Amino acid sequence: MYRPEIKVLDCTIRDGGLMNNWDFSMDQVKRIYQALWEAGVDHMEIGYRHDKEMFPPEKSGPWRHCDEELVHEVVTSAEEVEDKERPRIAVMADIGKSVESDFTLPAAESAVDMVRIATYAKDADKAVHFAKHCKDLGYEISINLMSISHCTEFELHEALQAMVESPADVICVVDSFGALYSEEVAYLVQKYQKYVADRPIEIGVHMHNNMQLAFSNTIEGVIRGANRLDGTLYGMGRGAGNCCTELLLSFLKNPKFDVRPVLSVISDIMLPMREKIEWGYLIPYMVTGSLDEHPRSAIAWLGKPERNDFTTFYDKMREGVPIS
C-alpha cells in the first residue's frame, strides 16, 4: 500500500479528548507532536475550537478551545526533524457548537493550518458556509459528514451535492457509531469519488472500533482510493475508540512513515492514561455498533454496577429501552 498521496492525520488530542474532557497536559501534547513529526505523520488534530459562551473554558481542558497561543506553544516547542515535514496542525469546528468569529486570524499568521468541519447531513449548507469563511482566511478545509450510517440515500445525495460545491480540500466518510462493514465502506468511498470526480477534492475515512473493524475498514478505504486516513494513538477515542495510528504507520509502505517514535509515547502516556480512563473494544460497544446506535447508551451502561450483564443490556437495546 504505497501511494505518495496518502496522508495520515492523528486526532488523539481531539477525539481522545472526548474521554478525558480534553485535559491533556501541555507536556503530553508537546511530546505527542514531536513523536508524530518523527514518525512522518502529516497532520495532528490538536483539539476542537468550540464556542466559549456555549462551553465555558473552566469546565473542560484547554484543548476543547485550542486558543492560538496554546497551539503556537506546541508548534514552536518541537525540534526540527531532518528530512521530514512537520505535521500540519488541524482543529475541528462543529456546526452548532463552533462560531465563525473564532476564526479571524489568517492562516499565514496562525499556528493552525487546517480546519475540519464536522456536520450532519441536514446542516451541510451551514458547513459549506463555514468552510467558505475559513477558506477565505487561507486554511486547508475538510468537511466530515457524521453519522453517515443513519443517512438516507437522498440525504446523502443532497449533502454531497452541497459539499462538492464548497472549497473543501477533503470530504471525509465518518463511521460515527462504528457500525459499517467493509462492503459499506467500499460503497461509500466510491460514491463520494463519483461526486468529486472532476474536482480537486480528496476522500478521507474516519473509523470507530465498536466491532473491531476500524483498521480493516480504513484499509478498505485505502483500497477504494481514499487518501486521507484518520487514527489515534492506541486507538484512544470516544467509547470503543478509533483506528490506531500505530497500525496505520506499520501498514503503509511509504518509507517516510516510521512507527518507532510513537511507541514510547504509547508506553509513557497512553498506557498510564488507559489505566484511569476506559476506552477500546467492549461488549456494550459491540452491541451499539451492531445495532447502529450511538455509543452513549453503552457508555451509560458501563457506568452501572451491572455493567457486565451484557445480555440484559442487549435485550434493553433491542427493545428500545432508554439507558441513562
Q: 112-150 pLDDT, tens per residue?
A: 999 999 999 999 999 999 999 999 999 999 999 999 999
Encode the chain in three state secondary structure.
CCCCCCEEEECHHHHCHHHHCCCCCHHHHHHHHHHHHHHCCCEEEEEECCCCCCCCHHHCCHHHCCCHHHHHHHHHHCCCCCCCCCCEEEEEEEECCECHHHCCCCHHHCCCCEEEEEECHHHHHHHHHHHHHHHHCCCEEEEEECCHHHCCHHHHHHHHHHHHCCCCCEEEEEECCCCCCHHHHHHHHHHHHHHCCCCCCEEEEEEECCCCCHHHHHHHHHHCCCCEEEEEHHHCCCCCCECEHHHHHHHCCCCCCCCHHHHHHHHHHHHHHHHHCCCCCCHHHHHHHHCCCCCHHHHHHHCCCCCCCHHHHHHHHHHCCCCC
Q: How confident is the model at residue 2 (pLDDT cuts 50, 70, 90)?
A: confident
Q: What is the pLDDT of residues 50-74, one digit of tens each?
A: 999 999 999 999 999 999 999 999 9
Q: Say what the pLDDT of residue 62 is.
A: 98
Answer yes or no: is pLDDT of 182 > 70: yes
- The domain locations on the chain are 7-276, 283-319
pTM over 0.75: yes
CATH number of 7-276: 3.20.20.70
Q: Per-residue pLDDT for 1 more than 70?
A: no
Q: What is the pLDDT of residues 254-295, one digit of tens each?
A: 999 999 999 999 999 999 999 999 999 999 999 999 999 999
Query: 198 pLDDT exceeds 70?
Result: yes
Residue 223 in this model has a pLDDT that exceeds 90: yes
